[in-house]
Structure 1
């Protein structure tokens, strides 16, 4: 018996839902304000389609986040420098953190929605485990650096969506300023010269 493929209209509906949710999160004042009813209406589908395809709002947010993060993930796992695994750690670690930060800056409200999806620990999420493991493995290759596991956690804390939102939304920091400050902080942790900005 052959495995059934999703119907073409189901695949189209899924893409329409993800695109609608993406647009709504990008425009919203607060991620909590984006409801399943809003997303269904914007996508031109019934709410039942959303619940069938994603389970609930948290499932939809996870699916959208993973879809948008996929290109960055591929670059980190297989890509060329500066993100790829063949890059020296003194260059790869700052590049990975910058990629995560830029993703959070570009998808602020989606990242906030994901980090605020109830009782799930953000540290148990697949994307967090991926970045932590990737950074930890790169940090293991930095001469003289102790405790790469905790260092990876500490560096990733500087890219949390709630911190990014605070810096941009409340302190009025610019994208380039935040990126430069993270790069300088990372350089201090790694004991390497900060890149020019």
Structure 2
């Protein structure tokens, strides 16, 4: 049985309200603000997402749907069929684009998941993907560590600092260079 129409509308309204508030106010938004902006009760937000953490996880997961689909069944090099090193670079490029376009969400997600963001479903999926590819490309490396280290580069403040307006490709380019050296 699918989601009730009113529940789906509320979910959509809450996620859109969160996006809009993040865009205008940055990472420091409250669930009261989200509920008011979505024109739902605060209890609706809590019932639907459980917490601020759950809300940020859901929004990140929604933003990452296209990336997940491309990884699973898209064309190479992001999707299956390319050599592991090429897939790693393509994945990190795509993740760089996602991060650059969603800095406020990343910052809010980091703050709300501060106690253990490594258990976030999207993060664990990305980590498993990278770990598998790193193991294939360089079985001599500690793939678990390297995957965490690479994903750790996607700290919102780091991405913001290394993506200056006069050189918006710096972060992705530097990460690509690092991975190239690592996988050489």
TM-score normalised by L of structure 2: 0.89
Report how far residue 143 of structure 1 moved.
5.1
Tell me the equivalent position of 2:93. Answer: 98
Shift of 1:35: 1.1
Q: Measure, in 1, the Cα distance between the counterparts of 2:18 and 2:102.
A: 12
Could you give the per-residue CA deviations for residues 75-113 of structure 1, whole angstroms, max 9, x where no partner exists?
A: 112221121122111211111111112111111111111
> Judging changes above 3 Å, is the alpha-carbon distance between structure 1 residues 44 and 174 closer, same or farther for their aligned structure 2 residues?
farther
> Is the aligned partner of 1:77 residue 2:33?
no
Show the counterpart of 2:19: 22
SS of alignment partner, residue 140 of structure 1: helix
For residues 169 and 91 of structure 2, what CA distance do their matches in structure 1 show? 16
CA distance in 1, matches of 2:138, 2:19: 41
Residue segments in structure 2 that go unaligned for 5+ positions in a row: none
Structure 1 moving runs of 4+ over 6 Å: none
Q: Which residue of 2 aligns with 1:8?
A: 5
Give unpaired runs (5+ residues) of structure 1.
192-197
What's the CA shift string for 1:110-140, capped at 9, x where partnerless?
1111111155312222222211111111112
3-state SS in 1 of match to 2:23: helix
Bigger Rg, structure 1 or 2: 1
| Conserved 8 A contact 1:139-1:145 | no
TM-score between both structures, scaled by the size of structure 1: 0.84
Q: Does 1:177 align with 2:170?
A: yes
1:26 touches 1:108 (CA, 8 Å); kept in 2?
A: no
Aligned partner (choices 36, 40, 47) of residue 41 of structure 1: 36
CA distance in 1, matches of 2:46, 2:91: 34
Q: Equivalent residues in 2 for 1:110-189 (5 A)?
A: 110-117=105-112, 119-142=114-137, 145-168=140-163, 174-189=167-182
